[in-house]
Amino acid sequence: MSIPSLTYRCTACDLLGSDLALHRPRFYLHFESEVLMRATMGWCYTCAKPTVVERFFDVFEVRELQEKILRARTRLADEALNASAKSNWWQREQRATDAITLLETEIENATNTLRRLRHLAAIFNERIAGPHCIECFSEDWTPLPPSSIDAEYCPESASPVKLGFQHPGCGGEITVENDVRFFMKWKPQYFDFEGFPLNTPVTKEQ
């Protein structure tokens, strides 16, 4: 499939990086479960370049999801009450209004995300290693600032945008641009719950 990719460059040297590897599906094997790894782009000081790094769950993110679900359920109850109060029977039968459908989808998506985060929390509570670089497994990294360019939705553009991150050891500014797409078919990569890749391929029982 066609995958958008952000390109990282430096204003003072020939540094070249990409977030293409961020799109590869990665899973922790935790007992009998496959748990999707959350990843983000960071600057690895060992690799000395932008790399994919593990992203641990955030307590504040869990709270935000819980509050989001509560707000959506409240709005859903209000919408259902308004629908039942309509005087005409065909209006009452028309329950699946756009507002109700959107709210139900919002609740379902947020609930699924919350379930995955809680599963990740159980994994991370057992871990010894901290979040690390996927390439060299170093924990010496820092997250890259979010880009104003959205690789998923913005059209390709060759105009670089400063990321607000100084190239360590160089002094130049890291820029990002969305100027290329790739046709890729990624194979999933599997990790133990310490975040290290499994050497043997995973075979699933049918």
pLDDT of residue 143: 93
* Amino acid at position 124, single letter: F
CA 21 – CA 188 distance, rounded (Å): 11
User: Quick one: what percent of the chain has pLDDT higher than 70?
Assistant: 78
Give 116-166 pLDDT, tens digit per residue. 777 777 777 778 888 999 999 999 999 999 876 654 445 555 578 899 999
State the pTM of this model.
0.68
Are 50 and 17 in contact by the 8 Å Cβ rule? The answer is yes
What band does 206 get if pLDDT is binned at 50, 70 and 90? very low
* Amino acid at position 29, single letter: L
Angle (nearest 5°) at CA 28 between 22 and 29: 150
Burial class of 67 by CB neighbour count within 10 A (0 to 12, 13 to 18, 19+): exposed
Q: What is the mean pLDDT of the chain?
A: 80
Same domain, 83 and 100: yes
- Per DSSP, the three-state class of 95 is coil
Alpha carbon of residue 10 to chain centroid: 25
Are 83 and 181 in contact by the 8 Å Cβ rule? The answer is no
User: Quick one: what percent of the chain has pLDDT higher than 90?
Assistant: 32
* Amino acid at position 105, single letter: T
Same domain, 14 and 107: no
Give 178-198 pLDDT, tens digit per residue. 867 767 788 899 999 888 998
Q: What's the whole-number mean pLDDT along residues 37-43?
A: 92
Burial class of 43 by CB neighbour count within 10 A (0 to 12, 13 to 18, 19+): buried
CA 115 – CA 28 distance, rounded (Å): 15
CA 144 – CA 106 distance, rounded (Å): 29
What band does 14 get if pLDDT is binned at 50, 70 and 90? very high
Q: Within a domain: residue 162?
A: yes
Q: Within a domain: residue 145?
A: yes
pLDDT of residue 43: 97
Largest CA distance in the chain: 71
Give 82-100 pLDDT, tens digit per residue. 766 555 555 555 555 677 7
pLDDT of residue 49: 96
* Amino acid at position 71, single letter: R
Q: Within a domain: residue 206?
A: no
141 beta partners: 44
pLDDT of residue 71: 83
Query: What is the tally of structural domains in the chain?
Result: 2
Domain that holds residue 26: 2-55+136-191
Q: Within a domain: residue 197?
A: no
Same domain, 51 and 103: no
Give the CA distances from residue 206 to residues 79, 93, 98, 128, 203, in Å, rounded to whole numbers and listed in that order: 43, 43, 39, 33, 9
Highest mean pLDDT, choosing among 57-61, 62-66, 141-145, 146-150: 141-145
